[in-house]
Structure 1
Amino acid sequence: MAISVFDLFSIGIGPSSSHTVGPMRAARMFARRLHNESLLDSAASVRCELYGSLGATGHGHGTPKAVLLGLEGSSPRTVDVETADERVEQIRSSGRLRLLGTHEIPFSFDDDLVLHRRKALPYHANGMTIWAHDAQGAELLSKTYYSVGGGFVVDEEAVGADRIKLDDAVLKYPFRTGDELLRLTKETGLSISALMLENERAWRTEDEIRAGLLELWRVMQGCVSRGMSREGILPGGLRVRRRAAMTARQLRAEGDALAHSMEWITLYAMAVNEENAAGGRVVTAPTNGAAGIIPAVLHYYMNFVPGAEGRPVDVRGRRPGVADRAA
């Protein structure tokens, strides 16, 4: 099973791995291809059309925003989530877009970004096509991309039964099922985590692996912290009010965190889900829809399990004990 933990768990933005993360990556891929083929400076216009589910629910999932930011060179991993909406509004109001952040072209939010609500492409529900033309209207490049889930993107050259090319890395302990994984742990005497670490060495050094995992954990911690502190109405037009911050205050007021550990683990997941809905930075685990589960379990472990290493500093600036470290 040659797939890395960093493929399953990747840093992105909300609210959807298939409708936000994938389209941003696809649009960025298109802009980078223009650059790599020395076509960027000749581009005078760009048009993007979204099909199927991307077209039908794109506005609610932030797909237009993702496409525009991707064309400007932003990556889901590093895009500034605090200024993303402001940048999109600037593109809309000015009618100007900067391909890869350097080459400015005219862009009409209404005419050059089309959402087809009842039209689909043949190979997947989440399809999009992007065109670039020169000043005379001649086509420079066109590409069709499919956002196939979890932030993964393939183009029209890779569609068919195997839409995602399998990684051919040679793992030390390959397995395909949970039973095979458990058999390997018995045969080798390794724990699941130790065995997976050996497999991850097919792609990275141990130092790189550990640093990468800690970065994922830092993003998860930041996401929970933001979600537990921010209030207001979530975007999307349904007027859904954030609840995590209020719930956190109520649980802190209860005093005995250990007695309410299940409420805390629910709160951690809720905080991530609200940040995801708000277009904040999350870790796809392995999708945005499931992004709250792993952070919630890890925060429960760190805050409620005696002996957990690296106990976090709580909101009052001290290192809490088992009974109250959840705050």
Structure 2
Amino acid sequence: MVLAVEWREAGTPCLRLIDQRRLPAEETYLDIRTVSALVEAIQTLAVRGAPALGATGALGVVVAMRQGHDEGWDEARLRAEIARIRDARPTAVNLAWGVDQVTPAIPAGVAEVLRLATQLVADDEAANRQLSRHGADWILARIGKEKVRVVTHCNTGALATTAWGTAYGIIHELHDRGALEIVYADETRPLLQGARLTSWELTQDGIPHVVESDGAAASTILRGLVDVAIIGADRITANGDTANKVGSVALALACHRAGIPFVVAAPSSTVDLDTATGEEIVIEERSGDEVLVVAGHRTAPESARGFNPAFDVTPHDIVDAIVTERGVVEPSANPSPRLLEAIAG
């Protein structure tokens, strides 16, 4: 199982990230020793996925402290550089959460911050495996079939976490139980995280799958080709509204029409009880060139402008289940302004 995020002590200590921009063609790694390099890696999606960003945020504080020591930063400069990491991607709550988990330990020194960050990484894998068991149990009980067919969107495996995965973890758990027939993996435009990353992980794990265009997903659901949709989340609000990779809400709408479950899987750290509803979530807008240019070739007229929201928000009333390591809640069946309190971090 690949490690997307890890701290390396050998040689000059660094935060090592697998460069997800280069997968599946190349498996290369970035050794991060400066805040600027880390912010660039986050914003260019060399590292992405809510849980992986949480771990990156925590370990990024270590990077900042070590750089600050070497360059003689004062307290104000250190705090400003840490804030740059925290704010690098505004929609994904886990990034800020990871930073906030270790920041109070800064006065105790870099060794203590590293200890807390390393523990956070270990806890994330344990949470992923537990939520995968919860999710698989719920899906099999709800669907009542020996083998299920799944559609998923974007990438939620080990590449998006510290290990194992969230929505992908549930898929992996179903596969390990012999209860998975096939996975339909959406390509996930414009950066193709599904085609490049999810398909790569499914291939590595020997899980049967096909890659489909995003535009085919709703039809796949309405034609009865799948039994359940399972996606991850970058932020879940107190009432169960869910922000995830753009295109996710289309799956939810199709599932609602088809009468099949739409399941969201994320660690409890993705639940943001301070945000009441999805209307309060800031949606990151990325460069229009990501939409207009493919593999270095422009596909639209020179005068065309791109519109490139990175995320969308699925309303809680069409979300059948939200799964964390603490259990499962059913937003569409039990609407509540504080629904997520029982399974929040």
TM-score range (shorter-chain normalised) is under 0.3
What TM-score comes out, normalization by structure 1 length? 0.28
Name the larger-Rg structure: 1
**Greater RCO (Cα-Cα under 8 Å, separation 6 or more):** 1
